[in-house]
Structure 1
Amino acid sequence: MDDTDRSEPLLRHLSRRDRELFWLFGKGPRRTVSDPAIHHAIERMAATHPTVTAVEHHGEAITYRELDARATALACHLADLGVRPGDHVALFLRRSIPMVVGILATLKAGAAYVPQDVAIAPPAQLRHVLAIARPRVVLTTADHADHIPGGHPILTIPASGADQARPAFRPRRPARPDDPCYVLFTSGTTGMPNGVTVTHGNVVNLLLTQPGDLGIQPGWRVGQLLNIAFDMAAWEILGCLSHGATLVIRGEDIAATARDLDVIVATPTILSRLDPEGCPRVRVVAVAGEPCPGALADRWAGRAAFHNGCGPTEVTIVNTMGRHRVGEPVTIGRPTPNNTVYVLDEHGRPCPPGEPGEMWAGGDCVSAGYLDNPDLTGERYRPDPFLGGDRLMFRTRDLARWTPDGDLEHLGRTDDQVKIRGFRVELDSVSAVLETLPGCTRAVTLKLDSDHLVSFTAGAGVDPDEARWAVSRALPYYCVPAEVYSLDTLPQTPRGKIDKATLLDLARGAGAIA
């Protein structure tokens, strides 16, 4: 039974044409993936391009041959400490060449890496990550060993390649697509993050197929700009190294690093702080993690291939992508290869094209679930009735609708729909109006209380009264923010997204509402 036959009873409420479009729009292309595990592709690059520079940071550099040798030596140490396929290895350090060595060594040993930036993550979060992930070993560097909570074996990564003379390392068994690749901790409703297990099959399906491979080639320079605990950092690091390019790890000045990059992967918040004129080498830009303003997309699409994507950590970085062209509406594109997207109503039935609903993701992007949280896994991961078998689909909580051309128009998040004076308001729709104002590069709107919204804009010379007037002309009266604050830049979280909690504190502290 093929997918169309299996899903026919679930589509009876749709017209014949809409049933055809359900699969035409919602099913990504079928593609064969070259490797079962992402580090196999990196090892192949080390064999075929050994002298190419693999990683640069603060004036230091190592080639692919050196990276592979150092990672092999470290994998031997991990095995000596009892690390086996399927285990977890915590990677608690900062951006550096040893960080990349640690990632590759962990994968070579057959384990999944669990990254945290020790300079940013509070001690309570590190303890929580260790308690949930239960790593066999904590990898760090000598200057951060004192930051690691006690009770776990610690192995420091050598700063140089002095310990390379070890025999070729072979794990106890070959890596499989369903082996965990990394575990990332995402924001949770209880105040502590939830651990998400992402498999090698999930990762290679995005990074070794188009468009997720971003066309990266040997000789290109790819930025490592993002927090290592953010899933888009895996796009930067693993996406670069699996295609033989040079990973350029940033210092404190992101703009200085970006000036000499071919590929930039970023959130819209981070990208809005970079000037395309100052990045003359850039070929490809990919953004995700937040809604992308049209003006920002146009600004970069005029000089580079600009991809806008969408997808939470649970569906492997992004599960939809689209190339934006200047002057066109910004969409989140279409399902990436071997993946599906369903726009469903509140009863779980497919919405006709053009009608809004909630996005559910299916296919090879769907991760293995939450660590030590079966209740949440059961709530967000459900059996996929359209693909059948043992396939799962994931509730993204993103709202969207299909355009007549088969792209997905993002309509915000279910948790960004709020009630103001009894009316439902989509916060992103207010921000989108503000981002059309001259001088506004980014905007965010938040619910202050049951009767009032408050907005913040970034950029020069946005007049608050004119901003409120613009919203009043475009949207109903209850959507007009009580106050609009014009800032030079919007504060951001360690993962490069707008820091909404800080903005709410600012509004309340400023006494926005008497």
Structure 2
Amino acid sequence: MTVLGARGGMEKGTEMDEFVPVHRMIADRAVETPDAPALVDEWTALSYRQLIDRADEVARALIRDGVRHGDTVAVHMERGAAILVALLGVSRAGGAALMLDVGGPRQWLTGFIEKARPVAWVTHESSAEPPFSGTVRRLDVGGRLAMDTGTDTVEDTHAAMSATGSAVPDSPDSPGFPEVTPEDTACLVQTSGSTGEPKLVVVPHRTWCFATATQRLLHRIGPDDRGAWLFPSHTNVSVSVVVWPFLAAGARLSMPPREIVTDPVELAEWIRQERITQLFAVAPLAEAMARLDWPPCDLRVMLTGSDRVREWGRPDLPFEIANWYGANEVNIVTSPLLPWDERVTSATATAADRAGMPPIGRVWPGATWRVVDALGRPSAPGEVGELLVGGEQLALGYLSPRTTAEKFRPDPHATRPGARVYRTGDLVRVRPDGALEHCGRLDDQIQVNGKRVELAEVERALLTCPGVREAAAKAVESATGRPQLVGYLVTDTPVVHSEVRRLMAEALPHHMVPVAFVRMARLPRNRGDKIDRRALPHPSSAAASHGEYLRALVASVLSDLLDRDSCAPDDNFFLLGGDSLLAATAARRLSREAGYPVSAENIFLHPTPQELSEYLGKAAAEPART
């Protein structure tokens, strides 16, 4: 089955008549409504005029530092107004933003830096010294350059561009920055790798432009809307899906305080107070908020995804919940809101719809797609097959040409020479109404807390731990149906699980660190001598018992959050149904009841009552020894 462009009955005018880079779209809004509110976070509020003025200051500073058209600039910043100033500044300077995870360990970040070779680095004024020897620019919370006295004019910028060999714009109305083309790189996005090596996805300005234009139109985003940015700052989905459509429409984008993003109750109250009209939340957060009692509010649509969505949401909510699909390589390519009159959401779902999982919607107009079997032949309607995606929203590939060739294949059905399709690895089924249902994965890729994890990358890190001879990783289903990572180790001597977690946390982001470990005499293998993950055992839990005060306190808090009568000393919080949201809630409660700080990271690294209470006991004793 192949669908090209818009399907019958969809809204018209979804194709781009003219390429306009996103930074110019937003600059146009600054000309039209300079004093309209653009960004609001917990530290600052910026109008459209202030946003563009500060982005231009960053752009001129980068050009003065020697950044040329096409150069890579590392952006290592938290979600907030400042990072959007930085990203717009990099784009207006003609550069490509290397979007780095602020929560990633130094070793993890260094690998991406070595691959991308940025010529400059942009970070917060208060951030630690980065693992980078080049020019570092720092911004305060409002996006102003820290300790910079540059007051470049357009002529100064042209002179700096000439000195570095960049082409000077011919237009007398140009703000002095290089022009970008649709195929110029807008950003490089980190993602997990199936070979054990993390990858960088190369996203062009074409993708940003197409995603912004289609979402503004098809999701009906206008200047009176108020969007909310809840997703991590280092992802392409954040900017191309959550941020740019609202700013390109002249709307207002708000960012909640960091500490309430993982608290559904407080976040829901913030959404009401800020009069948010549309937002995107990862599946666990969206499902938690959907279970709350909501009074009438301005929120119209809550989009969700980045994980397998299991719950539709109640039909009597004052807003609609809709599940969409995408990946860094293809951006967002489906929406259940298309076409609007046939949308499939919590408000429109029939009894027959609710008998199954929420679908991921219909494919964007302008995207090409087909569903194929294991031999690459078109799957029959209603049969499960792999989803292949092409079109304007497709990334250029990976930074590695070899990896690109494996996943981005020539499209024999395309009308445009050189067009390619991306093999998503996702299994889907086409419903009779044209909506797609997600049916799992072809490979060992999983989603944990809405983030991609390749098991090979986890296994490679496990093998670097002292004493580990063989290692495997597997996703097991927790008590709530959410996948959690488990590590399987073959060692000569027993290993301390908390020490393995600590070493893993130094090498990988938290969502890639196993929550439990199983020591085995040998790993099960199939006839091809490959690890048989299906034969790996499920971690077991011990029987309940009482312990000393701190362990009892930890067990009480964790069991209450998991809605269990008790938690045994060796019960694993995540295998019993815990997730990142509940970990953050547990950390707040333990901090309040134990009397000293407890973080969600502490719970990730010590997920059983026994381990966590021992860690907290040692931490509490630290001041007494100093």
Match of 1:325 in 2: 345
* CA deviation string 1:26-55 (max 9, x = no partner): 969773325431111111111112111111
Any residues of structure 2 matched to 1:188-203 within 5 Å, and which? 188-203=193-208
Match of 1:122 in 2: 105
Any residues of structure 2 matched to 1:250-261 within 5 Å, and which? 250-251=256-257, 252-254=259-261, 255=267, 257-259=270-272, 260=274, 261=276
Higher mean displacement: 49-58 or 391-400: 49-58
* CA deviation string 1:232-270 (max 9, x = no partner): 211222222111122212211121543422221121022
Larger radius of gyration: 2
- Which AA in structure 2 matches 1:78? L
1:48 corresponds to 2:25? no
Distance 2:100 2:410 in 1: 31
* CA deviation string 1:287-313 (max 9, x = no partner): 1211111x3x32388422433211210
Aligned partners of 1:42 and 1:242 also within 8 Å: yes
Aligned partners of 2:6 and 2:366 also within 8 Å: no
Distance 1:107 1:121 in 2: 24
**Cα distance change of structure 1 residues 136 and 381 upon mapping to structure 2, 3 Å threshold:** same
- Which AA in structure 2 matches 1:240? F
Higher mean displacement: 204-213 or 223-232: 204-213
1:219 corresponds to 2:202? no
Match of 2:3 in 1: 23
Aligned partners of 1:84 and 1:111 also within 8 Å: yes
| Count of matched residue positions in the alignment of Structure 1 and Structure 2 | 443
1:238 corresponds to 2:244? yes
Higher mean displacement: 357-366 or 303-312: 303-312
Higher mean displacement: 321-330 or 49-58: 321-330
Match of 1:263 in 2: 278
Distance 1:75 1:26 in 2: 37
- Find the residue that maps to 2:3 and give its secondary structure: helix
- Which AA in structure 1 matches 2:242? E
- Which AA in structure 2 matches 1:350? P
Match of 2:483 in 1: 444
Aligned partners of 1:282 and 1:304 also within 8 Å: yes
**Cα distance change of structure 1 residues 401 and 100 upon mapping to structure 2, 3 Å threshold:** same
* CA deviation string 1:178-213 (max 9, x = no partner): 111111000113544211011111122122114776
Match of 1:355 in 2: 383
Distance 1:286 1:164 in 2: 42
1:37 corresponds to 2:64? no
Higher mean displacement: 333-342 or 25-34: 25-34
Distance 1:166 1:484 in 2: 53
Deviation at 1:395, TM superposition (A): 0.6
* CA deviation string 1:456-483 (max 9, x = no partner): 999864899xxxxxxxxxxxxxxxxxx9
**Cα distance change of structure 1 residues 191 and 407 upon mapping to structure 2, 3 Å threshold:** same
**Cα distance change of structure 1 residues 301 and 459 upon mapping to structure 2, 3 Å threshold:** farther
Distance 2:431 2:484 in 1: 25
1:140 corresponds to 2:120? no
- RMSD over aligned Cα atoms: 3.8
Match of 1:400 in 2: 428
Match of 1:423 in 2: none
- Find the residue that maps to 1:174 and give its secondary structure: coil
Aligned partners of 2:246 and 2:252 also within 8 Å: yes
**Cα distance change of structure 1 residues 108 and 417 upon mapping to structure 2, 3 Å threshold:** closer
Any residues of structure 2 matched to 1:139-178 within 5 Å, and which? 139-144=122-127, 146-159=128-141, 161=144, 166-167=152-153, 170=175, 173-178=178-183
1:312 corresponds to 2:296? no
Q: Which runs of 5+ in 2 are unaligned?
A: 158-174, 262-266, 338-343, 447-473, 487-532, 542-558, 567-572, 585-599, 612-626
Deviation at 1:143, TM superposition (A): 0.8
* CA deviation string 1:155-195 (max 9, x = no partner): 12255558796535745542211111111000113544211
- Which AA in structure 1 matches 2:422? F
Moved over 4 A (4+): 24-30, 158-166, 210-213, 445-449, 451-464, 488-494, 502-507
* CA deviation string 1:347-406 (max 9, x = no partner): 1111111111111111112110111x1111110010011115210000101001111111
- Find the residue that maps to 1:410 and give its secondary structure: strand
Distance 2:79 2:445 in 1: 36
Distance 1:397 1:210 in 2: 25
Match of 1:284 in 2: 301
**Cα distance change of structure 1 residues 124 and 451 upon mapping to structure 2, 3 Å threshold:** closer
**Cα distance change of structure 1 residues 72 and 406 upon mapping to structure 2, 3 Å threshold:** same
Aligned partners of 1:211 and 1:336 also within 8 Å: no
Higher mean displacement: 215-224 or 41-50: 215-224
Match of 1:5 in 2: none
- Which AA in structure 1 matches 2:402? D
Any residues of structure 2 matched to 1:440-479 within 5 Å, and which? 443-444=482-483, 450=535, 452=537, 461=563
Match of 2:94 in 1: 110
- Which AA in structure 2 matches 1:253? I
1:339 corresponds to 2:367? yes
Match of 2:184 in 1: 179
User: Which has the higher relative contact order, 1 or 2, with Cα contacts under 8 A spaced 6 or more apart?
Assistant: 1
Deviation at 1:416, TM superposition (A): 5.7
1:68 corresponds to 2:81? no
- Find the residue that maps to 1:91 and give its secondary structure: strand
**Cα distance change of structure 1 residues 463 and 400 upon mapping to structure 2, 3 Å threshold:** farther
Higher mean displacement: 195-204 or 276-285: 276-285
Aligned partners of 1:462 and 1:486 also within 8 Å: no
Distance 1:85 1:112 in 2: 9
Deviation at 1:142, TM superposition (A): 1.9
Aligned partners of 2:77 and 2:233 also within 8 Å: no
1:298 corresponds to 2:313? yes
Give TM-score, length-normalised by structure 2.
Answer: 0.63
Match of 2:619 in 1: none
- Which AA in structure 1 matches 2:333? N
**Cα distance change of structure 1 residues 132 and 458 upon mapping to structure 2, 3 Å threshold:** farther
Q: Which runs of 5+ in 1 are unaligned?
A: 1-20, 419-425, 435-439, 465-482
Distance 2:425 2:244 in 1: 27
